[in-house]
Structure formats: C-alpha cells, structure tokens
Amino acid sequence: MVWKELKEQADKDAKGRLKHRLHQKLTTDIGHPKLKELIISVTTVMKLSNHWEDFKTKLDRVHPAYNETMQLPFDLEGDNGKGL
C-alpha cells in the first residue's frame, strides 16, 4: 500500500509529528508508479460499477479502507434467523 509505505518512511519531529506532507515523499521511480496504479485501479472499478453504492461496494472489496473491517458478502434474504 502506498500510504503505509509513505507513513513508514516519513520523518518525524521530537513530538512524533510528521515533518513533511506524505505526498512530498513520492519518488519518480517508486511512488509515482504506485500512485498511478491506484488511480487506474479505482478508475476501472468506477467504469465497471452501475451506481454509487455498487462502486463503493466494489472499491471496498478491491481496496479496503485503512483500519476498517471488510464487509462479508452474506446473502441474508430469506434468512429466518433460526440457523441450520
């Protein structure tokens, strides 16, 4: 993940705060190609989606948000809650 790598490489001051903005650490040989891959991937998901909710669901599957639990694709229609 681009964000995770940038966060690890970022310089911090004595209080633990970042000295620079993360985008300033993007390099032409590593950072820019990874960012380009991410933009292309998100654009592809967007093109394959039928509507906003569909896009958000697919994007969460392909690129889950940092520090969030992924939704499991359970089919709950017709579930009476009694189990097996």
Q: Tell me: the pLDDT tens digits for 15-47? A: 776 666 665 666 677 667 778 888 999 999 999
| Structure confidence at residue 11 (pLDDT) | 63
Mean pLDDT (the chain, rounded): 76
What is the rounded CA–CA span in Å between residue 67 and residue 69? 7
Predicted confidence (pLDDT) at residue 80 exceeds the cutoff of 70: yes
| Structure confidence at residue 63 (pLDDT) | 85
pTM of the model: 0.52
Task: Please list, residue by residue across 6-29, b when 16 or more beta carbons sit within 10 angstroms of its beta carbon and e when fewer do.
Answer: beeeeeeeeeeeeeeeeeebeeee
